[in-house]
Amino acid sequence: MKGSWHGSLRVRHTLMFGLMFLLAGSVVLGGVLILVQNSMDYSLAVVFARKLDKYDPTAEAWIAQVVSEDEVSRQIILDSMRDNLLFKGGLTLLAVCLVATAGAWWLSGRLLRPLNMITETAHRIAGRTLHKRIELDGPPSEVKSLADSFDSMLDRLDEAFAGQGRFIANAAHELKTPIALNRTLLDVAMARPDSSPQVLRLGENLLAVNVRHERLIDSLLTLARAEDAVTDRRPVDLAQLAEYALDVTAKAAVEQRVQVQSKLVASPVVGDPVLLEQLIRNLVDNAVRYNHPHGSVWVQTLAEDRQAEVIVTNTGALISPHEVPVLFEPFRRLTDRVGSARGSGLGLSIVRAVAQAHGGDALAIPRPDGGLSVRVILPRGDAPRS
């Protein structure tokens, strides 16, 4: 049986059935004891009465002695019968009660098996997959009706989330066309020889806004893809992805005057290389972007028996523990980041979505002297051990 014994429905049913059988057996044993004792008492009285009929009724003293001895003998017989019945009947009741309890345990398990299937399916769905179904076989019953209703609810939820993902992807793709057109028009306008300095400055500002919109759309596409089931799973080394992310953000680190240090060891996992690369790039990019001049960034990969980890730590502004959950919500940033043109507010949202899509999770811990340490835990799956 899975789960804790405390509060288990199967255990409660078994104990209830066992106690009910023990109580019923005790009542039956008590009733049998009373009936047998009454029958024996009546039978012995008849036997001893016939014995007295054979003696001379004039010998009263002798008859009184015989009656007294007969009463003692009858009581000894009754006590022996009662003790024997209680001992052997009690042992029989205990043995049958144990067998009945074992049968109740087995029967309760059979009856609760469909509910266990529903529970296991709910746990798998909690692991961020809506593609699992119970598909309970059997004749129509209350439990099968519950399982079918649960499957129908999952179908509707799956369609709703799939439709939401398709809408985000389609909207993002549709938005890319006018943004690309705006960038082309701005480049043409800024390339004209007669463009005034005011037009050039305006064009640079509009291009910066255009770049931010492109990043936002790309982030939306990545988030929509990460929240769906991961289908492209291949062996990949997190250390190599971290090296690539460090190379990509090296220029930005120099511009921000941020020192980057790394300690990378081979950390193979099985997953989508594109999504995992985006995960690490977002971590490193956020660590560099939301830092202060002459700050530091530490990037580390770890490999254990069943999981691999990526830890990115950076200096920066002080962050309260209650503000950490806000960082993982889409389009949510801390007060000092609101209005910033440096990010879209989807960085850590994508990190957690990608991690959970791979069966892992992302955790963040504020540093006492400012900054943040983000730890991503991923299961190794079928990745070859290093």
pLDDT in tens, 167-212: 777 777 777 788 888 888 888 888 888 878 888 888 888 887 787 6
Closest CA to 226 of 311, 310, 158, 128: 128
Backbone angles phi, psi at 299, to 5 degrees: -120, 130
Question: What is the three-class DSSP state of 305?
Answer: coil
What local confidence, expressed as pLDDT, does residue 313 receive? Answer: 95
Average pLDDT over residues 29-43: 79
**Mean pLDDT taken over the chain:** 78
Whole-model pTM? 0.54
pLDDT tens digits, 112-128: 777 777 777 777 665 55
Percent of the chain with pLDDT over 90: 16
Measured over the CA atoms of residue 200, residue 202, residue 207 and residue 208, the dihedral's sign is positive
**Per mean pLDDT, which range of 10-19, 178-187, 212-221 is the poorest?**
212-221
Helix 273-289 × helix 238-248 angle, to 10°:
50
pLDDT over 60 (residue 148): yes
Average pLDDT over residues 238-260: 91
What local confidence, expressed as pLDDT, does residue 336 receive? Answer: 45
Please state, as a whole number, how many other Cβ atoms lie within 10 Å of the Cβ of residue 150: 18
Residues 318 and 311 sit within 8 Å (Cβ to Cβ): no
pLDDT tens digits, 272-328: 888 898 899 889 988 998 898 899 999 999 998 889 999 999 998 888 888 888 888
Task: Assign 103 a pLDDT band (cuts: 50, 70, 90).
Answer: confident
Please state, as a whole number, how many other Cβ atoms lie within 10 Å of the Cβ of residue 330: 14
Q: How many CA atoms lie within 13 A of 362 on its CB side?
A: 27
Q: Which residues 6+ apart lie within 8 Å of 51 measured at CB? A: 66, 70
> What are the CB-based long-range contacts (under 8 Å, 24+) for 176-183?
176/214, 176/217, 179/210, 179/213, 179/214, 179/217, 182/206, 182/210, 183/207, 183/210
For the chain, how are helix, strand and coil distributed in percent, rounded to 5?
65, 10, 25
Question: 108-120 b/e with 16+ CB inside 10 Å = b?
Answer: beeebebeebbee
What local confidence, expressed as pLDDT, does residue 113 receive? Answer: 78
Average pLDDT over residues 243-257: 90
Degrees (nearest 5) of the Cα angle 142, 133, 382?
Answer: 140
Q: Which residues 6+ apart lie within 8 Å of 235 measured at CB? A: 268, 269, 270, 382, 383, 384
What local confidence, expressed as pLDDT, does residue 332 receive? Answer: 60
Measured over the CA atoms of residue 252, residue 256, residue 261 and residue 267, the dihedral's sign is negative
Average pLDDT over residues 359-384: 86
Higher-confidence position of 16 and 124? 16
DSSP state string for 291-302: S-TT-EEEEEEE
Average pLDDT over residues 10-30: 85
Question: What is the three-class DSSP state of 219?
Answer: helix
Q: What does the block give as tokens for 249?
A: 């953000």
What local confidence, expressed as pLDDT, does residue 311 receive? Answer: 95
Task: Assign 338 a pLDDT band (cuts: 50, 70, 90).
Answer: very low
Percent of the chain with pLDDT over 70: 75
pLDDT tens digits, 37-88: 777 776 766 665 655 555 555 545 545 555 566 566 777 777 787 788 888 8
Please state, as a whole number, how many other Cβ atoms lie within 10 Å of the Cβ of residue 231: 6
DSSP state string for 269-283: EEE-HHHHHHHHHHH
Measured over the CA atoms of residue 349, residue 352, residue 355 and residue 356, the dihedral's sign is negative
d(CA 197, CA 190) in angstroms, rounded, equals 10
What local confidence, expressed as pLDDT, does residue 51 receive? Answer: 56
The residue type found at 246 is L
